[in-house]
Amino acid sequence: MDALIEQKVDPALLAEIEAEGEAESWVQFEGSPDYSAAYRAETKEEKGAAAYAAATAFAETSQAALTEALDEAGVEYETYWASSSVKVTGGTELLETVTAFDEVARVVDAPEVVDVEPVPAESGFAAASAGWGATDINAPAVWDQLGVTGEGVVVASIDSGVQYDHPALVNQYRGNNGDGTFTHDYNFYDVEGSCGAAPCDLSNHGTHTVGTMVGDDGAGNQIGVAPGAEWIAANYYGSSMESVLKAGQWMVAPTDSQGHNPDPSKAPDIINNSWGREASDHDPYYEDIVELWHAAGIIPVFAAGNSGPTCLTTNSPGGYADVIAVGAYEVGGGIAEFSSRGPTSDGRVKPDVSAPGSGILSSVPGSGYGSQSGTSMAAPHVAGTIALMMEAEPALRGDYGLVYEMLTGSARYTADDQCGGTADANNVHGYGRIDAFAAVQALPDGDSGTITGTVTAADGTPLADAELVFDGAFDRRATTGADGKYDVSFALTGQHAVTVTKFGYAPQTGTVTVSAGQTAVFNASLTPLATTVVTGTVVDGSGHGWPLAATVSSAGGEVSTMTDPFTGRFELTLPTGGVELVVESEYSGYQTVRVDANAADLRVEVPVETGCTAPGYAFDPLGTGFTTAPVGWTVVNRGPQPWLFASDGAGNRTPGSGGFAYAQPPGGGVMDTDLISPVFDLSSAPQPVLSFATDFSMYAPYSRADIAISTDGGQTWQEVWAADQPVSDTTVTVDLTAWAAAEAAQLKFHYYHAYRSGYWWQIDDVLVGGTAECAPVAGGLVRGTVTDQSGAPVAGAVVTHTASGHRGVTDAQGRFWTFAPGSGTAQFEAVSPSGTDAADVSVVLNGVTGADFVLAP
C-alpha cells in the first residue's frame, strides 16, 4: 500500500475500507487560521467578523487543491470552514488521490459523537415558579436589587431543539417579531432536518435547558436565570460529528433557513452545550470549533458530564482548558452523585464551577413544566449568570478571560477533597458554587483603560505563550500570541505590578500605570534559564516492573519526549532547579503520574488504574470491565447477532462506566447467544460470590437473561441466576457458595430474545470473589513493527500470540504491542489483508521483547 496512505490515514479507517471497499472519510489539513486580527479587535461584532473571515480564508486556501482534483474526478464531497475539513466517501484509490496533497495532514474515520443523557427526573410534570436553582444562585437578588435580567444579551443552545412558542420562552425568542409573526432565519438552525418550517424539539432536553437560561412566562413561572436575555438555537443532538460541526459553525455566522447568507453580526454572546463525549476529557474533535468561538468573542459553557462519582470522568469538550465546565450540586450544596469529576488526564482542575443540577424544574414541550437532573441542567444556570453579568457590564462581551475571572472569583468555595485539587479549586466543585449576585458585582467600579505590549527573548525574538499577571485593584492576566504580543481590554486605572513568566526563562517583574480611556504599554525581555540534562527510567509499578513506553513531558507541555520502549529510558533538557513532569504510558490501563525532576537520574514507577485493564493484569480469580472483548472469554451464537462489546462507554446503562458487553436484537430472527468466561479457581476467591453491573430490558415472556456455572469444562451447566422482570441500572450479587470448592469453574451469561428489536441485556464490571484485587499475570510484553516486502509499514495488521489469543493491532507506522502470558518460546502470527507472517518469539518474564514481521501474500 502507498506509504502516504500508511502515514496519513487512520488505521481504523483503513481497516473499514479493506473490509467494506469504501467508507466515509474526513480529510483534515495542515495549519490553522490566523485569528490575530480577531483577538485584537475591540468590539464583539468586530471580533466575529474577523474570526469568520480568517476561518473561511484558511478553509478556502487549504482545501483548494484537493477540491479542484475531486471536481475533476467527479467525486462528490462536502466542505466545512469552521474546522477546515472535507467529507468524502470512497476506497483505496480515493485515498491515494487525497493523501498525495501536501496540504492534507490526516484522513480519519467518521467520528462518533454521543450526547450526555440527563439523569431521570425526580418529579413529574408540574406548574412552575421560581425554581430552587435560580434562587440558590441569588438570581432574584440581581433582578430585584440591581434591575438586571440579561437584557441585550443573546444566549444560544446547541441541543435537541426548542419549543419556540412555549409560554415561558416565546417572548425571549429572538425570532419573535412582536406582532404574532416569527422570523426563524438566523435564529434557529434545523441541523437534523427534522422540524419542517418552524423550530421544534427532538426530545424535551433543549426546551428544558433554554428554560433554565431565560424562561419566564410573565405569570409567575420564573424558571430562567436571565429572563431578559434573548435566545437562538440549533437542534444538534448527538447524532454525528457532522451535525455538531455544522451547529458550531452556524453559531459563528448564522444563516437564513436555507443555509445561505451567513452573518457573523448575528452570532450569540454565550453558547450553552449540555452535551459531550464520555470517552475522554480531551478528545480533540471539537478543538477547532472552540478556538473559533473564542476568536469570535463567544463564551463556551459545557456540562462536565454525568459519569460521577468516579474521579477523572469529565467529558470532552468540558475537559478542554478554554471552556467553562459545570458540575452539578443538589439542594443544600452537596455535589450530585452523578456529577463528573476531575482532574483531567493531564492534571488540570475540572469542573471550573458547580451549579444547581438536581431536580431542576423548567419548561418542556407541550407548554408544560417538568423536573430533570444532570450537569445538563447545571450548565444553563452558568450561561444565564453570564448573561446577567454582560448586561451589568457590557465590557464583558467578547472577553472570555474577564468573564472567567469574575465568575470563578465570585464563586462560593465548597471544600471537597475526594478527587484532589489546588488551594483555590477542587475537582468536584471547581472554584465553587456560582453566585450570580456576587458575579454581577465582581467587576469593581472605577475608570479603566487597556494594556498592550510585546514579550521577547533577549535577542528580540518574539516569545509565544508567555504569561503576564497584572496585580492591582482588580487583577488581570494575559498570554502572548505567536508574535509575542498581548492585549488586556479592561484594566482599572492606577499602578499595576506585573509578573511575566515563560517556561525556560527567568521571570521578569515591573510596573505599569493605566490612565482612564488610555492604552498603557508594557514590554518585557526575558532571559533564558540555565539548563540541566535530566535522565530517567519509566517502569511498571504494580508488580511486573517492566519498562514502559511512555511520554514524559513538562507539566505545561512545553517539552516532551518518548521513552525507549525496551528500556524505559528517557532524556530531557530542563531548566535547572526542578520541573514537574507528567508521565503517560502508551499502554492502556496505567495511571498518569506526576513527578518532580529533582534528581539527575529518575526512576518513575507507574501504577495500573483501578479498573485493572492494563496489559498483563487481571482481577483474581475473575473479573473484567469489558473495555474490549476480553481475552479468554468466548461467545457462542445461535441467532442473528452475538454478544457485542462497546469500548468507550457510549450508551452504557449499567452502574458501570466505560466499555461494556451487550446483547441486543437487530430485529428479525430469534436471538440466542452465550458469553462464557475463562476457567477460574473459585476455591481461591476470598468470598464465593459473583457481582456484575447490569441493565436488562425485557419483552415478557420472550426475553430471558440467565447465568449458569460449570465445574466440568462446560459439559454440564447449573443455573445460578435468572431475570423474570426488567432489571434497570443495578449491581447484582449472586451467591456461589454451593460451588465454593471448585478449582476449575466457568460462568455463562445467556441471552434469549424472540425477534423484536428495542430490547437488550447489558453487563459490566463482572467480579468473582467480592474483592477487586488486581494482580499481575505471569508473562511479558512483545512489541515491534509489521511491514510489507517493500519495507513499507502496514497499518491495521493483527499480531496474535496464538496459544492465548492475546493480540495487538498495528498503527499507521506499523507498530504493535501485546501482552503474552508465560515465558520462553511462543508462536506469534501477523495477519492483514495484504499478507501473513509467523515467527517464534522468546517471551521474557516481566520484560519487553522485540519482534518484527514481514508480510507475504
Task: Give the burial string for 394-428 (b: 16+ CB within 10 Å, else e).
Answer: eebbbbbbbbbbbbbebbbebebeebebeeebbbb
Query: Phi, psi (5° rounding) for residue 17?
Result: -65, -40
The set of residues, in sequence order, having a beta carbon less than 8 Å from that of 756 and lying 6+ positions away, is: 665, 667, 699, 702
Q: Which amino acid is at 322?
A: D
Question: With 0-12 CB in 10 A as exposed, 13-18 as middle and 19+ as buried, what is 294?
Answer: buried
Residues 85, 358, 371, 376: which is the catalytic one? 376
- Whether 159 is a known active-site residue: answer yes
Residues 166, 184, 205, 381: which is the catalytic one? 205
Residues 115, 159, 217, 288: which is the catalytic one? 159
Q: Which amino acid is at 768?
A: V
C-alpha cell recorded at residue 195: 422540524
Give the closest residue to 819 by CA, choosing from 564, 613, 669, 519.
613
- On whether the CB atoms of residues 286 and 319 are closer than 8 A, the answer is no
- Whether 34 is a known active-site residue: answer no
- On whether the CB atoms of residues 88 and 77 are closer than 8 A, the answer is yes
- On whether the CB atoms of residues 508 and 458 are closer than 8 A, the answer is no
Give the closest residue to 369 by CA, choosing from 224, 467, 243.
224
Distance CA 652, CA 659 (A): 7
Q: What is the largest CA-CA distance in the chain?
A: 88
- Residue 495 three-state SS: strand
The number of CA neighbours under 13 Å toward the Cβ of 739 is 25
Query: Phi, psi (5° rounding) for residue 111?
Result: -65, 150
Distance CA 428, CA 409 (A): 16
- On whether the CB atoms of residues 2 and 99 are closer than 8 A, the answer is yes
- Which residue matches cell numbers 472483548? 629
- Whether 376 is a known active-site residue: answer yes
How far are the Cα atoms of 261, 743, 806, 825 from residue 803, in angstroms, in the given order?
63, 22, 8, 11
Distance CA 624, CA 648 (A): 15
Catalytically active residues, by annotation: 159, 205, 376
